[in-house]
Structure 1
């Protein structure tokens, strides 16, 4: 069995459930040792790790860290190095999304979104960068809504953070690319997750499903497959790109 990520170590933020859990599981299935990061869902994170370890391919550990803070990002990197000895792949999946009219956004809302979706990923990439060797990979997360012409005002705060992430990724790719480390961004369309379904009616969910040519929502594992490609050796010449993983999402 080919294991393209054998011997590699990956941090996947927000990986106790949903897309993050699928990414961690996929990377481990290709031989990577993975860090399951979580903020408060210790039992869910351990469940993902146990499932990975039971398969006997890649190894998984759990590390609690609030990746919206600089201090915890540094600690996450330090703990990864302490327990697994190296760091090759960083997947910046953790994020928040509240839907509010611009008039209703509070300073606390703004700070929460920018701390989690922008500041956290940037400073984790910064903390990880000195430890990544040639062939390392950094994968940021945006959203297909960041380039959608029909985006509605209640997504303003969320998509503004994702626009910032795309620019960070695009420019960081220049710096780290000089060391043969790639930096790319995944921009999924609507994916069938708990976060996507939150506060939506079935009618609204069906509307979004209908915006895809196949008339369905994406699946977490379909995002994980693309992340695994970017993390692997076959993506060595893909750098500074935003990949819209959305099944032809029409907006």
Structure 2
């Protein structure tokens, strides 16, 4: 167990963990999300889709893995602040949900949804070039796409271990690296932003998550190195946001045993005994995209009510 199930698991990730067809997952998630609203404060469940102010007007933001969950919430928050958003989904099975997210954005005609599987060698380049073809630049890159496959280190099935390793590393690690590399040539050279979405699991210990937690630790190391390497050359800052236990569709649609395992962590959260919301994570990400955050660079910001602290 750990925080992976809750952090940035999109519909693709949930299929890997729990199986089932897309329609049944969406239906189950919707029912469980309605239940979740009874355990979260009204303020935490408030939608961020209503435009607030145009502080990011004219900015172009790529949000990888944004057809659901935290990625979708980040896209909505950035759009509500005036940004044009490039949504991303991995395959045709996610097109319907990505289109629904697109329609939910403030000023949806300004934004687009691009199919690109970031676990492949071609996907990151395809996403970056599609954004540049539409807008001519990129101001904000949110590396959110990720997958968790809970795998015991001593699993005797070599094939299963290798398959899980390749899927996890190729998306969480290589996908982030190659997408960032592909975006650099289009990155606006003044006040641009790169934000890597990590997870509280990288700084806690949990069974069966060493593979996933390792990739999130990799993202944090990339953040530190890029924060040193890139700003003067590309005019950007680079930071990490690390969600704790978040009430995503994946969390509420997970088997009851998963939520039972997580319950002690939720109950011991210093701020309040509840899960976080995708909107709370999205707010932290958007804050780093603001002009006023131009002196914040190389940081690790946990968004988990104090379960993990930097």
Q: Which residue of 1 aligns with 2:47?
A: none
Q: Displacement of 1:250 after TM fit?
A: 5.7
Which residue of structure 1 lines up, in the alignment, with residue 269 of structure 2?
Answer: 212
Q: Distance in 2 between matches of 1:218 and 1:106?
A: 31
Partner of 1:194: 249
Moved over 4 A (4+): none
Contact in 2 for aligned 1:29/1:58 (Cα 8 Å)? no
Q: What does 1:13-52 correspond to in 2, within 5 Å?
A: 13-40=64-91, 41-52=94-105
TM-score, scaled relative to structure 2: 0.76
| 2:208 match | 154
Alpha-carbon distance, 1:125 to partner: 0.5
Q: Give yes or no for the alignment of 1:67 onto 2:125.
A: no
**1:111 partnered with 2:111:** no
Query: Do structure 1's residue 79 and structure 2's residue 130 form an aligned pair?
Result: yes
RMSD: 1.7
Q: Do residues 93 (structure 1) and 144 (structure 2) align?
A: yes
CA shift, 1:57, in A, is 7.5
How far apart are 1:144 and its partner, in Å?
1.3
* Match of residue 120 from structure 1: 175
Aligned equivalents of 1:90 and 1:152: distance in 2? 30
1:134 aligns with 2:134: no
Q: Which residue of 2 aligns with 1:183?
A: 238
Aligned-partner Cα distance in 2 for 1:134–1:70: 29
Q: Give, in angstroms, the shift of residue 194 of structure 1.
A: 2.9
Is 2:267 the counterpart of 1:242? no
Q: Distance in 2 between matches of 1:129 and 1:67?
A: 16
Q: String of CA shifts for 1:176-215, please: whole Å, max 9, x gaps.
A: 1113310111111111113335345242243332131200
Q: Is the 8 A contact 2:53 2:80 kept in 1?
A: no
Q: TM-score, normalised by structure 1?
A: 0.93
Report SS of the residue matched to 2:239. Answer: strand
SS at 1:90's partner residue? strand
For 1:84 and 1:170, the matched residues in 2 are separated by 29
In the TM superposition, residue 127 of structure 1 has moved relative to its aligned partner by 0.7
Q: 1:134 to 1:212 in 2, by over 3 A?
A: same
> Mean Cα displacement is larger for which, 199-208 or 17-26?
199-208
Segments of 5+ residues of structure 2 without an aligned counterpart are: 1-51
Q: Does 1:167 align with 2:218?
A: no
